[in-house]
Amino acid sequence: MNRRDRLEGGDVIVAARDADATPDTTEIRRLAEAAGSDVVGEVTQRRTEDLRYNLGEGKASELARVVTDCDADAVVFDGELSPGQYADLLELLPPGTTLADRYRLVLDIFADGAGSTAATTQVRLATLRYELPRLERMEGEAALNRAFFEKGSPVLDAERRIDALESKLDELVDAAAARRERRREEGFDLVALAGYTNAGKSTLLRRLADDLDAGHADGDTAGDRHADLAESVSVEDRLFETLETTTRRATVDGRRLLLTDTVGLVADLPHDLVRSFSATLDEIAASDVVLAVLDASADEGCLRRRVETTIDVLAGDASGPVIPVVNKVDRLDEDARSTAMAAVEDVLADSDVEGREPVPVSSLHGDGIEDLRAAVLEALPAATASLTVPNAGETQSFLSWLHERVDAEVTYGAETVAIEVSGRPSVVSEAERRAAALRGE
């Protein structure tokens, strides 16, 4: 397949077209920068889609001239180019120019940054799903050329690789599900941080998470018990800084949480591509509570679109309550803050997610974080029970089992021990069962 669609740094021209408005190129510029490129110019057009080049023919020629004038290495198109448009536009550009559309660009950013097996597998799968229709088109054109098939059919080959990657990903997804189950049995509540890229998810994770050393206090030091917890969380003013899910522990009023930072969302990606990042969607689906992190410092139109993108994804995947976290309020005055809160409430009211009151915070400076903790606590599934066990025998080991999993207030009597527990409903009922066994019932 033609590899002139892979961006490898260098000077780029961004091109954008919108039928209804003058295109805003802020996001595509930042995506190009995240891929390591320097944006040296732009060509934009307000008009309906041209079948041949996507841009109108005159605009497409202007784009070619700008590439020559700026001596640019590549063009990044803000949208999806059909395989035909891709080939025709490439033909028009100076020889050697790289052409990437929005999806290819996002795939490249992910391919460059993916580290873990799950992330790499997801990116490979997404890339193949993107390439498949383009290969099909090439194969259609080459159908009369036997040489093209001598090494086998690229389409069949891609389909086989997609199947293999899907099975591999299924295994990884099953392993992640088993790990979450084990963590639940240990009494952890699962909270996912989701949201648009650069909203401040990782900053919030750092703000809420316990120090990694905190685990040592309760003796939870066995190496492999920490294997699913991230040591460091990277924060950067760059789109798609986080490319895989990372998990840290947090304690809210005695309840132990596992907080998972997820890969950011971005508008206008094909559904298939989003589906490839199933590890992120699974974390969201399996959480008890989702924090939808929103960058309130974006202008109102932009904020609304991002809230819509975020809520759209969550509506399909989140089963538990969603707490909208209106982040970066340190950048806003009172008026702008109320506008942002009203915009978020508005979009939520139109959706079918179980949205809670939005909480304004500054993850960077810490304002509002206590309110957010209270909101999380309130949204977590909870049960309470009053237990009585004999003050003898196995009771001590039962108490340490309890302390590891739920909030427990213990009062010792001469013959019996009274315990008030509150925490995850499944753990509280297991505690009731164990207490009954200790009483010999």
Position among 62, 159, 220, 330 found at the interface with ligand GTP (CB under 6 A): 330
Question: Token pair 């009274």 is at which residue?
Answer: 418
The nearer residue to ligand GTP, 17 or 306, going by C-beta atoms, is 306
Q: How far is the CB of 235 from ligand GTP (least distance, A)?
A: 4
Residues 58-117 within binding reach of ligand GTP (CB under 6 A): none
Asked if residue 168 belongs to a known ligand binding site, the reply is no
Position among 119, 362, 373, 406 found at the interface with ligand GTP (CB under 6 A): 362
Residues 259-318 within binding reach of ligand GTP (CB under 6 A): 264
Report the alpha-carbon distance of residue 50 to residue 260 in Å, rounded.
43
Our finding on whether 237 is near ligand GTP (CB under 6 A) is yes
Asked if residue 330 belongs to a known ligand binding site, the reply is yes
The nearer residue to Mg ion, 43 or 314, going by C-beta atoms, is 314
Measured between alpha carbons, how far apart are the two ends of the chain, in Å? 70
- Strands 416-423, 407-412: pairing kind: antiparallel
Our finding on whether 241 is near ligand GTP (CB under 6 A) is yes
Helix, coil or strand: residue 76: strand
CB 191 within 8 A of CB 209: no
Our finding on whether 327 is near ligand GTP (CB under 6 A) is yes
Which residues make beta-bridge pairs with 386?
A: 420
Q: How far is the CB of 262 from Mg ion (least distance, A)?
A: 9
Position among 25, 127, 202, 278 found at the interface with Mg ion (CB under 5 A): 202
CB atoms within 10 A of CB 77: 27
Our finding on whether 122 is near ligand GTP (CB under 6 A) is no
Interface with ligand GTP: number of residues (CB under 6 A): 22
CB 279 within 8 A of CB 244: yes
Binding-site string for Mg ion from residue 239 to residue 268, where x marks contact by CB under 5 A and - marks none:
--xx--------------------------
The nearer residue to Mg ion, 122 or 202, going by C-beta atoms, is 202
User: Helix axis angle, 395-405 relative to 425-438, nearest 10°?
Assistant: 180
> Which uninterrupted H or E stretch holds 404?
helix 395-405
Asked if residue 197 belongs to a known ligand binding site, the reply is yes
Given 3-state DSSP classes, what are the helix, strand and coil percentages for the chain, each rounded to the nearest 5? 50, 20, 30
Report the alpha-carbon distance of residue 309 to residue 264 in Å, rounded.
11
CB 233 within 8 A of CB 246: yes
Binding partner of residue 321 among ligand GTP, Mg ion, none, CB cut-off 5 to 8 Å per kind: none
Residues 145-204 within binding reach of ligand GTP (CB under 6 A): 197-203
Helix ranges restricted to H, 239-331: 271-276, 278-286, 300-317
Binding partner of residue 236 among Mg ion, ligand GTP, none, CB cut-off 5 to 8 Å per kind: ligand GTP
Binding partner of residue 260 among Mg ion, ligand GTP, none, CB cut-off 5 to 8 Å per kind: none
DSSP of 322-357: EEEEEE-GGG--HHHHHHHHHHHHHHHHTS-S-B--
- Which residues would be at the binding site for ligand GTP (CB under 6 A)? 197-203, 235-237, 239-242, 264, 327-328, 330-331, 362-364
Residues that bind Mg ion (CB under 5 A): 201-202, 241-242
Residues annotated in a binding site for GTP? 195-202, 261-264, 327-330, 362-364
